[in-house]
Amino acid sequence: MRKQIAAANWKMNLSLAQAETLLNELVDSSPTLGAHQEAIFAVPAIYIPLALAKLANKANVFVAAQNCHQKEAGAYTGEVSASMLQSMGVKHIIVGHSERREYFTESDALLAEKVNAILAIHSTPIFCCGEPLAIREAETQNAFVEAQLKNSLFHLSAEDIIKVVIAYEPIWAIGTGKTASSAQAQDIHAYIRSCFASKYGEVVANEISILYGGSVKASNAKEIFSQPDVDGGLVGGASLVATEFTAIINALS
């Protein structure tokens, strides 16, 4: 059975006191997780030690980083490597978020290097893909997303590709309040899975978790997560409210 995942992306938000309060509230809420389910918290790098301490010994709960550098070490002032994160106990790292692609001009080739770096230290990349509004309006989103997957992931072996979690982001739905319908989410998730099936075969494709990442909230999570090819969500704004994110975790089927 594929893993079902509720992943929180705090982005660049919260003071230290606010982060501690939110983590305390999340621990106190005791969300329900099945054996095949995970909750992942991608917090700002500076709060990783705090999150690791607060969430220690919670079954199927993990702390993630929001990014890493592609090199293992070197003269890269201000950067953090995958191996540094692993040494702290971080087992998941987000790469390719639309904001990283847009604001920091991260290319598909660069993201392939980051994925390689994460897999090399036996951690899990959460690889983001998705289209902007102009591509969606032109109805060319399938080809756009397929190119992102091919350029950054299709060099991997079947053994490695099943270690990658995919997060599909309709960029036009991030922070806008707009959400793809559950049917739209299912359509693109099914297409993404078909891309992996064409490259690696259906058995491998059916082992890959694909998360939806566009304005997921407590009120729509259950319907979105009920779709057969949607394996959970990568959640932004709603993950900053303990009651909202707990409800989203509990919406995993």
Which secondary-structure segment (H or E) carries 205? helix 202-205
Residue-wise pLDDT for 181-229, tens only, equals: 889 999 999 999 999 999 999 999 999 999 999 889 999 999 999 999 9
> Which pLDDT tens digit goes with each residue over 142-184?
999 999 999 999 999 999 999 999 999 998 877 666 667 889 9
State how far the Cα of 41 lies from the Cα of 91, in Å rounded to an integer: 11
Backbone region of residue 105 per phi and psi (left: phi > 0; alpha: psi in -120 to 50; beta: other values): left
pTM to 2 decimal places: 0.96
- Closest by alpha carbon to 33, among 218, 241, 253? 253
Q: Structurally, how many domains does the chain consist of?
A: 1
| 8 Å CB contact between 4 and 209 | yes
CATH number of 160's domain:
3.20.20.70
Instruction: Give CA–CA dist 146/15, Å, rounded.
Output: 38
Domain range for 72 is: 4-250
**Active-site residue list:** 97, 169
